[in-house]
């Protein structure tokens, strides 16, 4: 089932995700809903908190359009190592139409549980490292706008206000 993605400044985007004790059938259904929602958007990442579900869970698929899909499910993720710096354009399904440069670590190590409940660890750089850091921020109620300078923040806030005002009728 495709779920509604919350848009900034919905206050629910500021709620933190809570640790998941174990994988249940309900959680698997939520993961399926999130995958469907993310692919339909379309997006390369989606955190549970973006659809109003307070869990430490996000999905990422950065496969290019002409590649087979490669969905990675992160349950209770923890970024254990951050190295270096990179800065590049990011988008977010909670900020439709917004693309801005954000500073991130260049290389990370992340540990998480997959949808079978097994622990895994990934070392990532480039786009995957950016996506993991972006989605992991969502679980702490941190949004890309918090990682921008004052001026950019103001521009993005205004853009979102305008968008929300004009889509009040057709976006329900």
Question: Which residues are near Ni ion by CB under 5 A?
Answer: 92
Residue 22: CB minimum distance to Ni ion, A: 26
Residues marked active site are found at 135
Residue 42: which of 60, 57, 24 has the closest Cα?
60
Residue 8: CB minimum distance to Ni ion, A: 9
- Judged by beta carbon, residue 48 or residue 92, the one nearer Ni ion is 92
DSSP readout, 64-100?
Answer: -TTS----EEEEEEEEEEEES-EEEEE--TTSTT--E
Burial classification of residue 50, based on how many CB atoms lie within 10 Å of its CB (0-12 exposed, 13-18 middle, 19 or more buried): buried
- Judged by beta carbon, residue 23 or residue 52, the one nearer Ni ion is 52
| Residue nearest Ni ion by beta-carbon distance | 92
Q: Which residue has the tokens 């973006």?
A: 50
Residue 93: CB minimum distance to Ni ion, A: 6
- Judged by beta carbon, residue 112 or residue 130, the one nearer Ni ion is 130
């Amino acid at each position: 089932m495709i779920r509604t993605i919350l848009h900034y400044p919905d206050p629910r985007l500021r709620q933190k995700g809570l640790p998941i004790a174990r994988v249940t059938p309900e959680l698997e259904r939520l993961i399926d809903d999130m995958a469907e929602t993310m692919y339909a958007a379309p997006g390369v990442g989606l955190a549970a908190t973006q659809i109003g579900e307070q869990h430490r869970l996000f999905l990422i698929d950065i496969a290019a359009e002409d590649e087979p899909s490669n969905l990675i499910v992160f349950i209770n993720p923890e970024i254990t190592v951050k190295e270096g710096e990179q800065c590049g354009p990011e988008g977010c399904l909670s900020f439709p139409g917004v693309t801005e440069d954000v500073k991130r670590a260049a290389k990370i190590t992340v540990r998480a549980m997959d949808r079978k409940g097994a622990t895994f660890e990934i070392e990532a750089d480039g786009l995957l490292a950016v996506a993991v850091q972006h989605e992991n921020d969502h679980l702490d109620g941190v949004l890309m706008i918090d990682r921008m300078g004052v001026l950019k923040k103001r521009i993005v806030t205004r853009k979102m206000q305008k968008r929300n005002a004009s889509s009040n009728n057709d976006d329900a």
